[in-house]
Amino acid sequence: MGDSKANLQSQKSFVLISGTSNRPLAESIARHLGVQLCAAEIDRFPNGETRVEILESVRGKDVYVVQSTCPPVNDNIMELLLIIDALRRSSASTITAVVPYFGYSKQDKKKTGREPISAKVVADLLAVVGVQRLVTMDLHVPQIEGFFNIPVDNLSPLNLIADYIRKKGMNDLVIVAPDAGGVKRARNLANLLDARLAIIDKYRKHFKEADAMNVVGKVKDLNAVIIDDFIDTGSSIVEAVKALRNHEVKSIIVACTHPIHTEPATQRLKESDCDEIIVTDTIQLGAGKMFDRIKVLSVDDMLARTIAHIHNREPVAYLFHQHK
């Protein structure tokens, strides 16, 4: 890894604690930082309510809570809220929520007259319970940062993905946005890889389904990389792959930050005509959702370096830059 351990100037006031949604990632972050995870009991009462008990003193310490709010989303959000409340009531000095995947981020605006803005509700819950800073990764839309009145560090995995693709030695690359909303993300990756840019013109008939209608930009005889923030049911990605195959691309790599993979996503991806699927470990993929074409890249180093810089009161801005 990088220099996270060397830069963690003091462990005396530092505490790293993990929820249950992605403990392997939290353990890996702890190894990078050279610390042990704080002991805690997190389980369920017989009636299904979440039970949290912190087993170590956190009085006067800076605490970092690692918890992705992935499915089961509501359970993981409630667990995060109760961990934070327990820390606040235990006199923690500061509480930073490290949420690699931020649930409800897709519900960032009203699409009809009588809908909640659910991402704002979650932001309010975190602020009310006592979070003083949020570290997250690849929010569905950047304006979600504005839902918070606390500092938000929205990290990008594009350098990680670009490095992996670069090492494959591929030429004639075109980076493809699966819809108009993903153009900026695709352009940033295209700039990193000196690649062309194309866009899928998508029409969504229903919130559960999507049809890819057309491809804007040259893709014929090129190696295509479809980049998105997450794969949920997989319908959009599968349609994008079909559209690109109809335009005679040489190969197709699908890349995303958050592998939600709500069923039947696994079967759809297995049956899709793509050559490889790149994901990160912001969400832990169970054995039943893994297959040979999936490559998992870890964000542990990036999150560890971010935590170290925050704890040392050092700038984190350089972590946001997407260098070639």
- Hey, what amino acid is at 323? H
DSSP state of 309: H
CATH class of 158-297: alpha beta
Chain Cα centroid distance, residue 139: 7
Structure tokens belonging to residue 162: 């670009």
- Find where tokens 């493809």 sit: 176
Task: Kindly list the catalytic residues.
Answer: 202
For residue 317, what pLDDT is reported? 80
Look at residues 63, 125, 60, 122 and name the one whose alpha carbon lies nearest to residue 95.
63
Q: Would you state the pLDDT for residue 1? A: 41
Instruction: Tell me the C-alpha distance between 61 and 83, whole Å.
Output: 15
Q: Which is it for strands 50-54 and 40-44: parallel, antiparallel or unpaired?
A: antiparallel
* Structure tokens, 24: 């392997």
Structural domain spans, the chain: 4-156+300-320, 158-297
Each residue's pLDDT tens digit, 244-263: 999 999 999 999 999 999 99
Please work out, in degrees rounded to the nearest 5, the angle formed at the alpha carbon of residue 101 by the alpha carbons of 257 and 55.
Answer: 135
Count of alpha carbons within 13 Å of 115, Cβ hemisphere only?
12
Is CATH 3.40.50.2020 what the domain over 4-156+300-320 is classified as, yes or no?
Answer: yes
The confidence score (pLDDT) of residue 195 equals 98
Alpha helices in the chain (DSSP H): 4-7, 23-33, 73-89, 118-129, 158-167, 183-193, 235-246, 265-271, 300-311
Residue 109 exposure: Cα atoms within 13 Å on the Cβ side:
6
Whether the domain at 4-156+300-320 and the domain at 158-297 fall into the same CATH topology: yes
Residue 53: strand pairing partners: 41
The 10 Å CB-count burial string (b at 16+, else e) for 13-23 is ebbbbbbebbe
- Is the peptide bond prior to 157 cis by the omega test (within 30 degrees of 0)? no
pLDDT tens string, the chain, 324 residues long: the values are 444 453 777 777 999 999 999 999 999 999 999 999 999 999 999 999 999 999 999 999 999 999 999 999 999 999 999 999 999 999 999 999 999 999 999 999 988 889 999 999 999 999 999 999 999 999 999 999 999 999 999 999 999 999 999 999 999 999 999 988 899 999 999 999 999 999 998 766 665 555 656 899 999 999 999 999 999 999 989 999 999 999 999 999 999 999 999 999 999 999 999 999 999 999 999 889 999 999 999 999 999 999 999 999 998 886 666 554
